[in-house]
């Protein structure tokens, strides 16, 4: 039986992708595990592996095609011993004889810049996210749900990245794995309609502007910011930290770093590395703030997995320092350098930037004194860090200069209220002002 190869969901936030390159051509033999294509998401270029043996009978979506929806047919594979021409003729039929859920892909090997197509992938709502615009389900699962009279949007998926597959529909028939219907859930659904493009453009003189199409990363950032601000009640707490001791410790640590034969130090600690470590330890000291809100209950995290916003062309990405509370400053520093480099090359794996329990956004290097960051779901907190600068302070009735850094904690007020957030931010201040406490 022919196998319909569908555009895979390479991450929970992927809705569309770009088919960057086919690594096999029509008529080529394919073994399970062979990389047959490279697919670009908004954050990475991933290798797509076949999960069947056979012959690539027909390529439906040519390489270089942009914005291919998840689950769209992209190729047909003839099974071993099957007529490839007959399999190719089946392309596009609504009821394929065999359906395969794609395996999660791997980051693609580096490709010369000139060979990279100019494409713009899009990611969107999480797979099977109730209340979102798109539900990720296999075609077979959708047919079974329709036949059974089950709303596919209420089914909890157990496939790769939460995709709904046939067994989930079977379980849903008996009431298992079903979320409450929209009318049964508490709260009010919010819907905001922005002005149309035509209405906005009509406000400006024709020819007075150029239209620069959004790439898909910018579309994803816009959508997630709207979701975060509409669905998360933000609460903000700001305080100043005296980082004089931190700067002295940083200078001493970096001066003592061992060097290789070329004189390159083994590490170079930044202020941000101290911030990551201090936030991780603060969440351990105030564990009730190390949480994620869900409608069914609070997720209380055992470890401090800290996301760190990294600016990349066209937007940003937030790689996660896992178990940051257990790692030394030098390990955190080198890990972040690796993440930042691979993030800018779009080589991060999905598990390296998804999840986490809190995050850091640092604009101090741009001279920003203070700001309030938008929470990145599923986090309940995010720490915005401003520039460290000399400011006048009053000490023992006298004015003197001190190195001060302002930080603002944004909290999800459903999960972390004002007093709890203040306690956690106080723990952070104590650690960042006394960095020796980070190593005891």
Average pLDDT of the residues in 158-178: 73
At residue 99, the pLDDT reads: 47
**pTM across the whole model:** 0.64
pLDDT digits (tens, 9 = 90+) for 62-89: 998 888 998 899 999 888 777 778 777 7
At residue 14, the pLDDT reads: 75
Average pLDDT of the residues in 260-267: 91
pLDDT digits (tens, 9 = 90+) for 207-257: 999 999 887 778 888 888 888 999 999 999 999 999 999 999 999 999 999
Specify whether the CB–CB gap between 306 and 440 falls below 8 A.
no
pLDDT digits (tens, 9 = 90+) for 122-145: 333 333 333 334 677 777 788 788
Specify whether the CB–CB gap between 312 and 215 falls below 8 A.
no
The active-site residue out of 130, 234, 303, 413 is 413
**CATH class of the region 232-439:** alpha beta
96 pLDDT more than 50:
no
CA–CA distance, 227 with 195 (Å, rounded to integer): 17
At residue 185, the pLDDT reads: 41
Quickly name the fold that domain 1-124+190-231 has. OB fold (Dihydrolipoamide Acetyltransferase, E2P) (2.40.50)
Specify whether the CB–CB gap between 74 and 96 falls below 8 A.
no
At residue 186, the pLDDT reads: 43
413 is catalytic: yes
Average pLDDT of the residues in 188-214: 81
189 pLDDT more than 70:
no
At residue 94, the pLDDT reads: 42
Specify whether the CB–CB gap between 100 and 141 falls below 8 A.
no
At residue 177, the pLDDT reads: 61
Give residue limits of the domains in the chain: 1-124+190-231, 232-439
User: Which CA distances in Å does 270 have to 18, 251, 352?
Assistant: 36, 10, 21
At residue 91, the pLDDT reads: 65
Average pLDDT of the residues in 389-407: 95
| DSSP assigned state of 155 | B
């Amino acid at each position: 039986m022919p196998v319909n190869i569908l555009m895979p969901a390479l991450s929970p936030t992927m809705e569309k992708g770009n088919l960057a390159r086919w690594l096999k051509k029509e008529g080529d033999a394919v073994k399970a595990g062979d990389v047959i294509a490279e697919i670009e998401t908004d954050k990475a270029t991933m290798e797509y592996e076949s999960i069947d043996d056979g012959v690539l009978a027909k390529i439906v979506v040519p390489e270089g095609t942009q914005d291919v929806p998840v689950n769209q047919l992209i190729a047909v594979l003839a099974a071993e011993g099957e007529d490839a021409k007959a399999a190719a003729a089946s392309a596009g039929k609504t009821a394929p004889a065999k359906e395969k859920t794609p395996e999660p892909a791997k980051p693609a090997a580096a490709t010369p810049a000139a060979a990279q197509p100019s494409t713009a992938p899009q990611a969107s709502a999480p797979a099977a996210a109730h209340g979102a615009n798109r539900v990720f389900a296999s075609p077979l699962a959708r047919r079974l749900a329709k036949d059974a009279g089950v709303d596919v949007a209420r089914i909890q998926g157990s496939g790769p990245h939460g995709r709904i597959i046939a067994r989930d529909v079977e379980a849903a028939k008996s009431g298992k794995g079903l979320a409450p219907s929209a009318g049964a859930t508490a709260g009010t659904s919010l819907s905001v309609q922005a002005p149309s493009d035509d209405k906005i453009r009509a406000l400006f003189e024709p020819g007075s502007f150029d239209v620069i199409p959004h790439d898909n990363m910018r579309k994803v950032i816009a959508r997630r910011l709207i979701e975060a601000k509409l669905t998360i009640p933000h609460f903000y707490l700001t305080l100043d930290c005296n980082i004089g001791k931190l700067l002295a410790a940083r200078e001493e640590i970096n001066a003592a770093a061992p060097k290789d034969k070329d004189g390159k130090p083994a590490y170079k600690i930044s202020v941000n590395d101290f911030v990551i470590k201090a936030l991780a330890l603060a969440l351990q000291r105030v564990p009730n703030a190390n949480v994620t809100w869900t409608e069914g209950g609070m997720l209380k995290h055992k470890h401090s997995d800290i996301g760190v916003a990294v600016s990349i062309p066209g937007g940003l990405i937030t790689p996660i320092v896992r178990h940051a509370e257990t790692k030394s400053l030098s390990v955190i520093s080198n890990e972040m350098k690796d993440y930042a480099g691979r993030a800018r090359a779009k080589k991060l794996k999905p598990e390296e930037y998804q999840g986490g329990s809190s995050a850091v956004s640092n604009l101090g290097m741009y001279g920003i004194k203070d700001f309030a960051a938008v929470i990145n779901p599923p986090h309940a907190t995010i720490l915005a860090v401003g520039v460290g600068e000399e400011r006048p302070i009053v000490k023992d009735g006298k004015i003197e200069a001190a190195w001060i850094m302002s930080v603002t904690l944004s909290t999800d007020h459903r999960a972390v209220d004002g007093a709890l957030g203040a306690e956690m931010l106080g723990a952070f201040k104590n650690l960042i002002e006394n960095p020796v406490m980070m190593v005891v």
